[in-house]
Homo-oligomer: A and B are copies of this chain.
Amino acid sequence: MKPLNPPQRVLMGPGPSDVDPAVLRAMAAPTIGHLDPAFLDVMDQTKAMLRTLFGTSNDLTMPMSGTGSAGMETLMVNLIEPGDRVLVGVNGVFGTRMVELARRCRAEVVVAEKPWGQAFTVEDLAAAGGDRSFRALFLVHAETSTGVLQPLEGMRELCDRLGALLAIDCVTSLAGLPVELDRHGVDAAYSGTQKCLSAPPGLSPISLSDRAFAHVLGRSTPVQSWYLDLSLIHRYWDENTRAYHHTAPINTIYALHEACRLALDEGLEARWARHRRLGGALAAGLSDMGLNLPVAPDLRLPQLTVVEVPEGVDDKAVRGRLIRDYGLEIGGGLGAFAGKRWRIGLMGSACTERNVLFCLSALREVLA
């Protein structure tokens, strides 16, 4: 068996995104023990940086030892007890996945639906909820399957009326556009590392409000997952307890630490502005080529532009040629959008003027 020698790509799909060489170098630092005093410092610093990124002062803010989907499952298994009623907004693949996970937690799931490519209004969700109360409302802040931003304004007030915790998926939004959990009164959120943070995949940063965490600690039934049980794991990440739970993925946390550091060094406002500016440039360039962008301009994610595959064009052939001849990865459609959409990411380190120009040129040549 020969040593690995993976090709150098330009990652402009829906994630993973290009990882900064500094992050890869940090990941290759010597492994140390998960209870080594030097590693405990890394944990504390990572928690502090994640709080800034999430826009929160939540004490329980930490990375889970799995990818973004493990973060989704973490919120579900910790917040839901069997029989709890939850309201889930479904306007794409990840909302659909939330419903599936909530059902596996034996929740009574009320589904609010909206066509793929659109966002929910507060009124949509209020109508779906009716006069019932809910344990939680789950929304996808940035739907990676459709490229749609879900505005959060008014959702806190809605949740107060529903008696619900407000829980959001910000896998694709974190570090690419404003998340600001505390400003929006979000109780629980999860993200991924391989999108706008531009770290390798493998961790899911999460954050829970004191109220949400008190609910977890006060459950009458055990969390159905031991691996994702926050009432246990927080005792390892808490500087006052440091109780062993599982062996943390040391080097992956090094990478996250460096990625957070680079993001905060750039500054959140500057980082959001970069994504906004270059996302706008890409969208304009694609429109100029005659391609149709199905998402309304005010709901477009700057970090993930969704394009309709033109009539008569072979989706797979185009993406295959882009990766083979140009080393360029863009994403295909998921679920109902398979073969019908391309998803072009400009996330984190991959969000550069050079990549905008390269992608537009390559796509123009391949479609010619």
Contacts and interface: CB of A to CB of B under 8 A. Distances in A.
Interface of A: 1, 3-9, 11, 13, 15-16, 18-19, 22, 24-34, 36-39, 42, 45, 49, 65-70, 73, 97, 100-101, 103-105, 192, 194, 200-202, 222-227, 244-252, 254-255, 257-258, 260-261, 264-265, 323, 329, 334
Contacts of A27: 27-28, 251
B9 A34 contact: no
Contacts of A252: 200, 202, 249, 251-252
Nearest to A24: B28
A140 to B, nearest CB: 15
Contacts of A97: 226
16 contacts: A4-B257, A7-B36, A7-B38, A8-B30, A9-B36, A16-B247, A18-B31, A24-B28, A32-B329, A65-B70, A66-B227, A69-B245, A70-B227, A104-B223, A104-B224, A104-B225
A39 B323 CA distance: 13
Contacts of A9: 30, 32-33, 36
Q: Which 3 A-B pairs have the closest CB atoms?
A: A202-B249, A28-B28, A69-B246
A1 to B, nearest CB: 5
Contacts of A28: 24-25, 27-28
Contacts of A42: 4, 6
Contact of A34 (B16, B45, B66): B16
A49 B1 contact: yes
A67 B26 contact: no
A206 to B, nearest CB: 14
Given A1-B49, A28-B27, A45-B1, A33 B6 contact: no
B226 A100 contact: yes
A234 B174 CA distance: 29
A8 B248 CA distance: 18
Contacts of A5: 29
A4 B254 contact: yes
